[in-house]
Amino acid sequence: MKIYFKPLTYITIFAFALFACSSDDSVSDGGNGDDDDVGVTELHAAFAAFNSDAVTAILSDDGTEVYIETTGFPNHTSIYWETDNALYIDEPGVTKTTQDTYIGGGQGEAASFTVDATPDLTGATVTTQLNTIGIAVSGASIFNDQEGMGDLDQAAGSLDWAGAHKGPGVYHYHLEPTPITSDDDSLVGILLDGVFIYGRQCSSTGTNPTDLDASGGHTSTTQYTDGAEEYHYHIINEVYPAGNYAYAPAYVLFAGPFQGY
Ligand SMILES: [Zn+2]
Ligand SMILES: [Zn+2]
């Protein structure tokens, strides 16, 4: 999916917006049609870090694509579980988006998409959309720093200790998900452009990297690349003024743009 903001493409943008609003459970990589990809022979080692109760990742026969599906159920506690669920916790500082919403309710949490096994790092960038932009290792969806058509600050009071909430759509993270990472180098998940995202520190140096591009990306070794250098994102180590978020300080998980399409 490439979005060019020229007058002649308003129809395309409108159609894309309809798609983004109408489908939370099936997200494609935009069909960029790059059939000349060179295949890999095995699934990236980082997939071993995903919650296998929720996430399934399958490498295509030709090794060029990875099909990923998830139940969307995170393997950690939240106020957004039903009160009789073992993972339910009360979070007095959190005002739920609506009282009757819970993980597994509404349209459910499932999501699936296909990514390039080798991200297309040609320098082109793509804006993130208001929907699932990736899957976290917990199994739940990753969203960007926008809520509806407005700023996230408006909804920050509804975010749980994981920096996530559930509206009419799927349960999703907007902020550094502390059950997964808290200023460390843990793998956070994979985004729709096939690029992995890590916590605020990089395993290559053991520090908060200072050479990140606008997306929080850089190229170095990670704990899953067996000494090889690979482009990946980090949660940018910059405090985000997230309105009345109960667990400040907040760090935006990923604001884009995608670098791997
Ligand atoms: Zn949201
Ligand atoms: Zn790094």
- Cα 28 to ligand 1 centroid, rounded to whole Å: 20
Residue 192, domain member (yes or no): yes
Residue 194, domain member (yes or no): yes
pLDDT in tens, the chain (261 residues): 444 443 433 333 343 433 433 333 444 444 454 556 679 999 999 999 999 999 999 999 999 999 999 999 999 999 999 999 999 999 999 999 888 899 999 989 999 999 999 999 998 999 998 899 999 999 999 999 999 767 788 899 999 999 999 988 999 999 999 999 999 999 999 999 999 999 999 999 999 999 999 999 999 999 999 999 999 999 999 999 988 999 999 999 999 999 999
Q: How many domains, in total, are found in the chain?
A: 1
Residue 165, domain member (yes or no): yes
Tokens in use for 169?
């759509």
- Cα 64 to ligand 2 centroid, rounded to whole Å: 24
Tokens in use for 56?
């399934």
Residue 216, domain member (yes or no): yes
Q: What string of DSSP letters covers 211-224? A: ---TTSEEEE--TT
**3-class DSSP state for residue 156?**
helix
Residue 37, domain member (yes or no): no
| CA separation for the pair 245, 160 (Å, rounded) | 8
Residue 27, domain member (yes or no): no
Residue 178, domain member (yes or no): yes
- Cα 22 to ligand 2 centroid, rounded to whole Å: 34
- Cα 140 to ligand 2 centroid, rounded to whole Å: 22
Indicate which ligand has the atom closest to the C-alpha of 174.
Answer: 1
Residue 5, domain member (yes or no): no
State which residues form the domain around 63: 42-260
